[in-house]
Amino acid sequence: MKLKPVSFGCVTLLSMAALQVQGVEDRLSLLAVPQPEKAIAVSSNSDQISTEWKEKAISVKVAPGKAGPAVYVRPAEGMWDLSRFGHLEAMITNPMDVPLRISMRVDNPGDWRDEPWNTEVIRVLPGKTMPLKVIFGHQYGYKPGYKLDSSRIEKLVFFIDQTQVPVAFQIESVLASGEAGEKPFVDPKYMRHVPKAGFILGGAEVKFDAKTQASSADKDLKVETESVKGQTVLNIELPGTSSDRTLAIKPAAGRWDLSQSNELKLKVTNLGETAVSFSLKAANGGSVEKTDTVTSDEPLASGESAELVLSYLPETTWTGPDGDLSKHANRKGTGGATFKSEKVEKIVIGFVHHGDAKVRIDSLQAVAKSRPLPEWVGKRPPVDGDWVMTLEDNFDGETINDELWHVHGPNWWGNHKLTHWSRDNVVVEDGTATLRMEKKTGFHNDDPESTSSEYQGGVLRTYGKWTQKYGYFESRMKLPTAAAMWPAFWLMPDRGVEAGEQWRRANIGNGGMEFDIMEHLTRWGPYRYTTAMHWDGYGKEHKASGTTVYFYPDEEGYVTSGLLWLPGLMVYYCNGREVARWENERVSSIPSSILYTMPLGGWDNEKSPVDEELPADFTIDYLRVWQLKAHLPVKGGE
């Protein structure tokens, strides 16, 4: 086996016969080397940790402390060149009588804050020795991650959680193995299949196996595929009489990713003599995560064809919690959207017939549609009242209004260490403002004294320049499609300079609240976002509630999101449709500022790698705010 020379002090990998695991030519041990205590440097980030070599293993003891301790393992000189291999696997022994959560990080040279590493974590059971494996280029559950250069591995880092009692563990071995470019095994249930042109049945080149992809609790229901004009259709025989027959359609493996759609369209033909009614729903597998069920208006007569459309938009409006607010729950029976279009486990077709029947599923397709908005959207609030427009920005001209907006500010969100804000990335043109994300190294807030990072984005916020308590807030926006983007339109408390430091001014406790009017993560696809409220701080007392929103964009691809905020009441709107409501004395009573942000990452982007097809644009067509005259500030002693 040929190995590239990498120095371990006076010894190189080429001369280390002990590195090769006996009888296994495609595995290499990093610890089983001559004089490991000299060839391998072991250190830590804390005086809580003590280590010692026990033959070819590293024994670690950890005293109680406030921080999460870490052990560093590196060659005494140079780096490891493991470009021949696909992964590293450490065997970890837990001698304790409680489980230990241990992470292994594999580092390239560079600032750790730029995340030039791959990492995985396991829970080692008491008294057990268990493998901890890192596949190069993957991390956090073997998802695609940082593109590690396996020819330049600087060190391994082993972490455990903060501990209040003494603990110990032992690194028995670290083996390099697998072929270069190795891909992780994917459990079929985690596979995602995007149907070509959205066709699950009926489209050109659609492959469908009725024996494995169609199932029913009714054993006498007969299902067969047929090719009609080059397209696969499904013939179904329904003997007898039934009011509750169902046929579940599933992917060949894993789940369907229908995130590029906002509805399902079913085309059917009645081939028999008996009239048949149809229903349609989609589900993620659980009892809660599913669409509403849509049912045909009337039975389909013999020889007729019809189309049934299932929208992902739920029929019920989400209603916020009452009673114990710590449960983060909505009011019972008002779930809003629970369906997740990016992981559809099955589509269920229902039949009602009175006598032997025969039908044909001509096509089943996930489609994306637009819809016109109600006439009032953009012109007035959604409820009657003596309203006054207090703020309007249509982003006309060529520059942002500096009297209203900050184009700099903090970035505490997402993969913030990768992103910096720049005025250059707030682009005003053609009557819109665009927050643009691009791969461009620069300084945060255009300040050469600040930190630098490789992705440059834009931010807009009215903090310290404009606030309002209560009213109706509305914006028309076009969302980005590039991976790992997290655009949002939201409000945060601003009590003014007299409140003191920023964290006091913007505290979401003491009557304050974060309103997420539109929060989108591009992993969800272009037709879904969330609305949410956060209150009582971001620590252990933190509370939150909200719902998923599906929508139909307007003809130009925009979505219009709004918040009606009154004393003890908040109502969210999407394209003029009420999607969430909460009436409670805890609704914020603190003036708020407005923010538009688009950092990288996000809480449900699952470490999505950044799409290199940048720039990505979050475009704002307008912002409009109204206030009831009764809530306007009193001026001049009026």
* Residue 1 is assigned to a structural domain of this protein: no
7-16, 32-41, 428-437 — most confident range: 428-437
Q: Contact at 8 Å (CB) between 56 and 173? A: yes
66 φ/ψ angles, rounded to the nearest 5 degrees: -90, -25
CATH of the domain at 58: 2.60.120.430
Are both 406 and 334 inside the same structural domain?
A: no
Are both 417 and 303 inside the same structural domain?
A: no
Measured CA distances, 257 to 87, 194, 272, 344, 347 (Å): 29, 5, 34, 6, 12
Q: Summarize the confidence of residues 420-437 as an average pLDDT.
A: 97
pLDDT in tens, 521-542: 999 999 999 999 999 999 888 9
Q: Assess whether pLDDT exceeds 70 at residue 72.
A: yes
CATH of the domain at 222: 2.60.120.260
Are both 161 and 21 inside the same structural domain?
A: yes
Measured CA distances, 591 to 466, 468, 505, 553, 566 (Å): 9, 5, 10, 31, 12
Are both 154 and 296 inside the same structural domain?
A: no
3-state secondary structure 307-341: EEEEECCCCCCEECCCCCHHHCCCCCCCCCECCCC
Are both 428 and 562 inside the same structural domain?
A: yes
CATH of the domain at 621: 2.60.120.200
Q: Assess whether pLDDT exceeds 80 at residue 377.
A: yes
Q: Contact at 8 Å (CB) between 517 and 489? A: yes
Those residues with Cβ within 8 angstroms of residue 259's Cβ, 6 or more apart along the chain or in another chain: 341, 342, 523, 524, 525, 526, 527, 528
Are both 350 and 448 inside the same structural domain?
A: no
* Residue 261 is assigned to a structural domain of this protein: yes
Measured CA distances, 535 to 326, 488, 543 (Å): 10, 18, 5
- pTM for this one? 0.76
The confidence score (pLDDT) of residue 205 equals 82
* Residue 47 is assigned to a structural domain of this protein: yes
The confidence score (pLDDT) of residue 179 equals 93
Torsion-angle region of 178 (φ positive above 0: left; ψ -120 to 50: alpha; else: beta)? left
The confidence score (pLDDT) of residue 247 equals 95
Higher pLDDT, 512 or 204: 512
Q: Assess whether pLDDT exceeds 50 at residue 4.
A: no
The confidence score (pLDDT) of residue 333 equals 52
Are both 450 and 576 inside the same structural domain?
A: yes
Q: Assess whether pLDDT exceeds 70 at residue 346.
A: yes
> What average pLDDT does the chain have?
90
What separation, in Å, do the N-terminal and C-terminal C-alpha atoms of the chain show?
90
Q: What total number of domains does the chain contain?
A: 3
Q: How confident is the model at residue 558 (pLDDT cuts 50, 70, 90)?
A: very high
Are both 499 and 544 inside the same structural domain?
A: yes
Are both 125 and 252 inside the same structural domain?
A: no
Q: Summarize the confidence of residues 578-607 as an average pLDDT.
A: 91
Are both 359 and 436 inside the same structural domain?
A: no
Q: Assess whether pLDDT exceeds 50 at residue 8.
A: no
Q: How confident is the model at residue 199 (pLDDT cuts 50, 70, 90)?
A: very high
Stated as kind and residue range, the H or E segment containing 172 is strand 167-179
Report the share of the chain in percent with pLDDT over 90: 71
Q: Summarize the confidence of residues 23-36 as an average pLDDT.
A: 79
The confidence score (pLDDT) of residue 162 equals 77
Measured CA distances, 51 to 11, 58, 91, 172 (Å): 23, 7, 16, 13
The confidence score (pLDDT) of residue 638 equals 40
Chain-centre distance for alpha carbon 567: 32
Q: Assess whether pLDDT exceeds 90 at residue 330.
A: no
* Residue 185 is assigned to a structural domain of this protein: no
Are both 358 and 394 inside the same structural domain?
A: no
The tokens for 370 are 């637009």
pLDDT in tens, 285-317: 877 889 999 999 999 999 999 999 999 999 989
Are both 531 and 474 inside the same structural domain?
A: yes
What is the span of the domain harbouring residue 600? 387-630
Partners of 365 in beta bridges: 199, 265
Q: Assess whether pLDDT exceeds 50 at residue 15.
A: no
Distance CA 36, CA 338 (A): 55
* Residue 380 is assigned to a structural domain of this protein: no
The confidence score (pLDDT) of residue 606 equals 62
The confidence score (pLDDT) of residue 242 equals 78
Q: Assess whether pLDDT exceeds 60 at residue 11.
A: no
DSSP type of residue 110: S
Distance CA 420, CA 479 (A): 20
The confidence score (pLDDT) of residue 506 equals 94
Q: Contact at 8 Å (CB) between 380 and 560? A: no
Those residues with Cβ within 8 angstroms of residue 430's Cβ, 6 or more apart along the chain or in another chain: none
For strands 559-566 and 569-574, give the pairing. antiparallel
The tokens for 534 are 């956060």
Distance CA 601, CA 483 (A): 9
Exposed e or buried b per residue across 561-586, where buried means at least 16 C-beta atoms within 10 angstroms of its C-beta = bbbbbbeeebbbbbbbbebbbbeeeb
Higher pLDDT, 452 or 141: 452
Q: Which of 367, 396, 411 is the last residue of a domain?
A: 367
For strands 192-193 and 255-256, give the pairing. parallel
